[in-house]
């Protein structure tokens, strides 16, 4: 097996309970203007064609003010339930795959968001997990503002 072949060892999974419906969370993740507000994207840089095979892109502004262009395509789209996206990162030889799943409780309780990503190396996984944790913190704050 090649050193850069993604394995289960290089996967992370994060889970959050969000005080919002699955439809609200999905819209925050798939509407360019909303995504821009909470995800740290540069104004006007987010484009999303949310359908299987559709492309997405954004320029993220990371701590220190650095601009990082990211993008990819949607592999799977199940409204209010699941997104599977390829993510192309600068310097990465191949895209990684990120999956976002939503589970809404029948009793109206919090929506469970599960985010996972398969990375090529342990170092890439650690950096991606840190970035995704910050992303989910920001999403949680954004949904609390409504």
Question: Locate tokens 């995504």: which residue?
Answer: 35
- Between CA 88 and CA 79 the distance in angstroms is 23
20 within some domain? yes
Q: What would the two tokens of residue 82 be?
A: 């699941």
pLDDT value of position 103 = 97
100 bridge partner residues: 83, 115
Q: What's the pLDDT tens digit per position in 102-125?
A: 999 888 889 999 999 998 888 888
Q: What is the CATH number of the domain that holds 90?
A: 3.30.530.20
Q: What is the pLDDT of residues 39-49, one digit of tens each?
A: 999 999 999 99
Q: Which domain holds residue 67?
A: 8-144
The tally of domains found in the chain comes to: 1
Question: Does residue 3 fall inside a structural domain?
Answer: no
Whole-angstrom Cα distance, residue 99 to residue 105?
20
* Global model pTM greater than 0.75: yes
145, with CB counted inside 10 A (0-12, 13-18, 19+), is exposed
């Amino acid at each position: 097996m090649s050193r850069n072949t993604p394995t289960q060892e290089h996967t992370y999974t994060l889970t959050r309970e969000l005080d919002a419906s699955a439809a609200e969370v999905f819209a925050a993740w798939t509407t360019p203007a909303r995504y821009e507000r909470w995800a740290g994207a540069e104004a006007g840089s987010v484009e999303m064609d949310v359908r299987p095979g559709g492309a997405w892109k954004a320029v993220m502004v990371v701590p220190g003010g650095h601009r990082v262009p990211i993008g990819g395509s949607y592999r799977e789209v199940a409204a209010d339930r699941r997104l599977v996206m390829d993510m192309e990162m600068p310097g990465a030889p191949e895209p990684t795959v990120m999956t976002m799943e939503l589970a809404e409780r029948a009793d109206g309780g919090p929506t469970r968001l599960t985010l996972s990503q398969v990375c090529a190396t342990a170092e890439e996984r650690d950096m991606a997990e840190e970035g995704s944790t910050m992303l989910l913190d920001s999403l949680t704050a954004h949904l609390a503002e409504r």
